[in-house]
Amino acid sequence: MNSNLLYIPLKQSRPIDFGNELRQVITNNYFQPASSFDSDLNYLTQLRNNVTDIKDLQTNSNGKSESYLLEYFQILGPIQRKFSDDCVEFAWYDTLAYGPQGPFAYRSLKVEKLNSVFQLGCLYSQMAIVESRHTDLGLKKSCHNFQLSSGCFQYILDFLEKELSITNNPLFLQIPKNFQIETIRCLKYLMLAQAQEIIWQKAINNASMKDSVIARLSLQTSEYYSQALIYGDASDLIKLEWINHIKVKKFHFLAAAHLRASTIAADALQYGEQVAHLRVASSTIDQALKNKKYVNPLVLEDLSGLADVIKTRLRTAEKDNDLVYLKIVPPESDLKPIISVSMVKSVEPEQFNKNPHREIFKELLPYVIINVAQALRERQDDFIRTRFLEPIQSLNTIFTKFLNERGLPASIDSLQQPENIPDSIIHHSKEILNNGGYEFIDRSFQEIQNLKTECDHLLKECQNRIALDRTEDDMLRNKQGSVRWTRATTDEAASEIITKTSKMNQYLEQASKGDESIVQKYCNIKPILEVYSGGYDALTKYIPNSSYLKLPDNLLNIVIELRSCLSQGSAIETERQNFIQELEIKSRDNNILPKLIKEYNTHSIDAFNEDGDFQPQFFEPVYEKHIKIFNSDLQKLENSKEAQVKLEQEIGTINDRFRREFNHVRNASQEKRQSALQQLEHGFEKFLEIVTNLNEGSKFYMNFIEKGTNVLRECEEYLYKRRIESRDLELAINNSFQQQQQQQPIEIPPKKDEHEHLVSPRTSKPGIWNPNSDIKFS
């Protein structure tokens, strides 16, 4: 369409079966049959196809394009409440620059919603373009649509700024390039400028409209175009043709404002001021003509007509003043400023705040409930681990250490089994081999080293982001000067992140020392582990035989008592293994999800706050009641602990008697055998300790990676915010400088200009506008 205004081209999307995508999500992640929602799923597929089928400038199809986009925007709200943000991948082609670019794929319902709003902004701009501007009604509709378009882009800006303020927000890592804030601001102000231009056009169609009003409207139109130009220059997507168009419009309306001011000055017999305003207008027109390359011929035709009027009036005014009036022509800086007046604003479509006419997925559980169920399931698993598995492991380790410190069972095995390998040693060997032997520990050390390398990389990346911001800030501060560059330094703005990276570094240094300690511990027992890993033959070679010794009856009875106590200890460990298995079955069979569903169906109104956000604490009473099913198991564990304490006391007493009696009958061969058995028992104890240390180390580094990734995301978001802040501050500084250079025209009581029709770009038919209507549409 040939017009002296711009419209924004619609983005293009790669077709997807939206309904089928959600069908798969329901099948895979929800405990409900997807077939129950076939009607809603088919509706979504058709609706999105209708949205993606909309073409540029097809705005007169009974309003269907607008209704499709508004309906799609509204329906995405309930979908966001029912599904996770990353449930479906969408893809769009960007058309704002030179030809379609993409497709750009992303997984985010939030970004998809932004795209629907962006499409609406494009559509409203096209609806405004196709309206006839030959009638008051057409001008009114065109202006309103431009304001709706601006309102859509303002909605996007509000959303982006709100999301940008959220710490650790992953959304900004996948927001498409065309949602760059400078780009959206440029489009917003461009739409406002064109809406203001429509108001201006309606004003000059009114023969009785005052010159002062038209001058003020002209200046505000120029200022809106100026704002669009500032952000357009900062954008990566606004093409040169648009930049030049906006520049021409900016200077055109600035010149038109001064032309009106010159008429006002002439009517007030201020001929010097008349000449001054015309000179400013002429100079401004010259600047506009410098940027006419690639600009629409209709815009250039308007500019040329205005230039002819200004040049002609300037020659006449200068000649009259030089020959007749002889008034002093003041410099531009001494002219009284024209006070601009805005008659437009960003208008958000009222349908944005309405619910969709169709309710979908009414019976589908919100994804937050599924997520909460998974989170509570993980919390329950963590409860089992911290309250049962780790305490049981700790109790077994304590008991093993207790026996080793007293030389048990090596001391009695050397007496009762002078040649055979004790069953406890064989059991230890099998357990070590089942765990992978010492090779398992070697592999674990390598895996931990790989994790540590990744942690070091995370820390370095965080430090690099901070260093990059410091370099950029120092460079801009030196360029602009510390007086104008008023924002905080990197050390001030990033103090919290710097503290976090410092702590990260401390944690890694402490972990490295811990790793060295574990490695040393492993080196000390590796020969023993090699013996265990060698199986029966290696154990036979390592353990020396001892001579048979006939025990006195009293010592024999003590050995029997000790053996009985050790059997009780083995029985306790076996009971604990069975207890763990039963506990895992019980935990698996008691799913909390049905309880959450029942609670949600009963009190769903209390699950969300006033903003529609889910309140995680809503299900806390359900979890607390659910977790009480393990109270009896906690009591069993406490009983097992008390039994072990009692058994240790009994073993300690009997072992003291054994040592006293054994000293009278011991010989050298038994001491060698006992020493070998004791070393094997000690090695096994240390093996269990090292395995525990390795698990803790692996858990530490995995946790560090998770939290370090969040810190790195914070650093990236911080750097992103700082760069936006830098760009905005530079724009503000440059804008302030430009405003200081602009002329400041005066406003004088108005008088109608008989040549006003020559100032209008593309005015074809005069209209009627009551000057007492406060410049508002009827």
Of 127, 253, 243, 155, nearest to 199 by C-alpha is 253
| Token pair 């040549």 in the structure block, residue | 755
Of 576, 521, 535, 527, nearest to 428 by C-alpha is 535
- Evaluate whether residue 182 is within a structural domain: yes
Enter the pTM of the model. 0.66
Radius of gyration of the chain (CA): 41
Burial class of residue 567 (count of CB atoms within 10 Å of its CB; 0-12, 13-18, 19+): exposed
Residue 298 contacts residue 762 (beta carbons within 8 Å)? yes
Domain that holds residue 159: 1-205+355-364
| Token pair 């009875």 in the structure block, residue | 557
**Percentage of residues of the chain with pLDDT beyond 90:** 50
Residue 289's pLDDT is: 94
> Any idea what the CATH number is for the domain that residue 17 is in?
1.25.40.280
- CA torsion 224-230-234-240 (nearest 10°) is 80
102: part of which helix (H) or strand (E)?
strand 101-106
- Evaluate whether residue 601 is within a structural domain: no
Total domains, the chain: 1
**Percentage of residues of the chain with pLDDT beyond 70:** 88
- Evaluate whether residue 630 is within a structural domain: no
Encode pLDDT of 521-543 as tens digits: 888 888 888 888 887 788 888 88
- Evaluate whether residue 722 is within a structural domain: no
Residue 773's pLDDT is: 35
- Evaluate whether residue 62 is within a structural domain: yes
pLDDT(10) > 70: yes
* pLDDT interval class at 604 (50, 70, 90): low
State the average pLDDT over residues 549-561: 79
- Evaluate whether residue 682 is within a structural domain: no
d(CA 488, CA 494): 9
Would you give the distance in Å from CA 724 to the centre of its chain? 16
Encode pLDDT of 652-692 as tens digits: 999 888 888 776 666 566 677 778 888 888 888 888 888 88
- Evaluate whether residue 729 is within a structural domain: no
d(CA 437, CA 652): 32
- Evaluate whether residue 67 is within a structural domain: yes
* Torsion sign over Cα 74, 80, 81, 83: positive
Strand pairing category for 12-13 and 90-94: antiparallel
Q: Which residue has the higher pLDDT, 568 or 559?
A: 568
